[in-house]
Structure 1
Amino acid sequence: MNLQQRIVLLNRLGEYILQDNDNWQATKQKASHQNSWFTPEFIDLATRNIALAFLQKDKLTAWADQYSFQADNTAPKNVGIVMAGNIPLVGFHDFLCVFISGHRQTIKLSSKDDVLLKHLVQQLHDWDERTRHLISFAEMLKNCDAYIATGSNNSARYFDYYFSKYPHIIRRNRTSVAILTGEESPEELNQLADDVYQYFGLGCRNVTKLYVPEQYDFIPLLNAFKKYDHLTDLHKYKHNYDYILAVLLLNRQYYMANQSILLTESKELFSPISQLNFEYYKPGEQPEAILTNNEDVQCIVGKNHIPFGKAQSPSLTDYADGVDVMKFLRDI
């Protein structure tokens, strides 16, 4: 199977997602029942983003051309992929990279997200039998030539140990931040709510901390965030909200809140579900100066950075942790 044939198949897969037929709807419903964090709203968001941003023929062709892949990969390697399960199809970009490169891949899915990708791969198998030789799933990854693994900081230590002898990409916990000036429009604050709330804040591209100028007025922000008050209809999210609120009250810690988020001042970049940290900066200070090279930061949202509302809409070239997966695959 040559590169052009693989691109045509992927474009067809994007069309399949957008057509949203009965089989795909049933699969999404199954994934939502299996993992209650995967609500229909957020499964649709993730899959539409993939179809529109990743699985378009012209975008795939231009992307592959940047790396000068040969039409035929005459010496394919077997790449093992350990996928996370924090948001729907979070590992799809790794799958896509390996498939485009012409290498084989063996995928270990997270138990939290083992429905959607299997279904999409089965579609590829049904359309072209040759894909069965390129994509497989396994509970344990053995005898691979290279590895791409995503997990927590703790699991990354194990990955470092087991995969150290092979070419590898290992990803750890990351999160995202937003830098506000106080001059944001209501529409920009409305878009920032997407960066904070989408996928319940579980993704590495979700904003979990704000940097705001001294004397910042939080009222417009909290009002804009009310667009996601419906998330508290999910009992797991509401449980987190109530728990964090109880902890703040017991510790007599200052906080601000609406019905769906708790804002508290903290130096920490990471925040638990339903909590959003903030930190003040003084006039003349530039928070990005200490954030740009911080290994815990995936994205910076704000003026002169990723636009508000776009954190969860990566392009094909927005590689996790800034590591160019396609270059890695080209060179192994």
Structure 2
Amino acid sequence: MTLIHRRALLAATLAAPALRSATAQGAWPTRPVTMVNPWPAGGSSDTMTRLFAQRFTQVFGQQFVVENRAGASGTIGHNFVAQQRPDGYVLLSATNSTYAIAPHLITPLPYDNRAAFTGISLMARTAQAVCVHPSVPVTTIQEFLAYVRARPGQINFSSAGIGATSHLATELLMAAAGLDMVHVPYRGGAPSAQAVLAGETKMSFIDAITALPHRQAGTLKMLAVSTARRTPLAPDVPTLQEAGVAGFESSTDMALMAPANLPAPIVARLTEAVQAAVADPGFRAQIVAQGADPVGGTPAEFGPYWTAEFDKWGTLIRARGIRIQN
């Protein structure tokens, strides 16, 4: 064998692993993909994850299977995904409750909140509504704010638990509007909403899709929504910004993530799939029917959003002295 032949053979040998890797990435996925939802089955996050899993199954020709790994404000599921290989076969359907709020309340985390993950794209955003028990003598959000200001420390509110978006949205409202209410935490959004319906508490931020049937039945009043834009589910309900609470914005944001160092070709394909999904009128209608707004985006956009969302809630948590009780 000549020197030239030996060098060519060596070059081919060294290039083979890289070629196999590139081929594998290009062919991805060749087997089922797991989408981890770090919350219990049946909630809004779970529903949205399953919608996107069905869509991805159709687009990529492989099953995208949802696996619920709930607990500890979503950090159990995040920790599981952080330990997986970055090969595109384990993805994470995350909410801002975990990637932007939990790190300020649960320390130390068993993973690096930022370095352990590849942020791919926002998928959807769910509006919450300021809901009050029918016994509260108000009909507008402005009247409710005045009612609470006149009764400092006398009005209670429920939430899905310390650090939940329903809790922090109320803390944000109290800070922005100069209110003083008493927090009554529950274990989950359903019992928190039930507390308002039963009159155990007077107010709570409740997912708009959950609140709407009760509003129609007259068993609670839906006064305003938390997002910057009105929800299509109740276009007559104003936003808190419209009600004069300047800059108020809070929502449950759902994002697609993966273990750190996910190869760029796979990131690109997933980004394109999300963008195509939220641009599809039929799929958008499915998202809206679940009380959410389709979002989409790119990894380049997700990074600054993640930083801003993390900083926003961290500032509020420190300013309000919020802690999880052991």
TM-score (norm 1): 0.28
The structure whose RCO (Cα within 8 Å, separation 6+) is larger is: 2
